[in-house]
């Protein structure tokens, strides 16, 4: 099973590299489209990661916050 997945992965890598190669190198020349997608995805990814980090730290602060004892005297 592992070898089959490795072969499929290698085939995908080869097809991906071929797709972004310039046309002058017998590729599809999709580098411009690929770059457009990267420029659009990276900011969204950074916002998503930032929100997750803030959320995790806020939850951690709630956990480590000392609790007041509510004793009646």
Assign residue 7 a region (left: φ > 0; alpha: ψ between -120 and 50; beta: otherwise): alpha
d(CA 64, CA 73): 27
Q: What is the pLDDT of residues 26-39, one digit of tens each?
A: 788 888 888 899 99
Whether residue 64 has pLDDT greater than 90: no
- What distance in Å separates the CA atoms of residue 29 and residue 41, rounded to the nearest whole number? 20
Q: How far apart are alpha carbons 36 and 46 in whole angstroms?
A: 16
Cβ proximity of 20 and 31 under 8 Å: yes
Domain ranges of the chain: 2-64
Whole-prediction pTM? 0.55
pLDDT at 7: 92
């Amino acid at each position: 099973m592992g070898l089959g997945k490795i072969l499929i992965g290698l085939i995908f890598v080869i097809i991906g590299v071929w797709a972004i190669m310039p046309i002058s190198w017998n590729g599809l020349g999709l580098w411009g489209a690929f770059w457009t997608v990267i420029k659009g995805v990276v900011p969204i990814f950074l916002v998503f990661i930032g929100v997750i980090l803030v959320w995790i730290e806020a939850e951690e602060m709630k956990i480590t916050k000392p609790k007041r004892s509510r004793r009646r005297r």
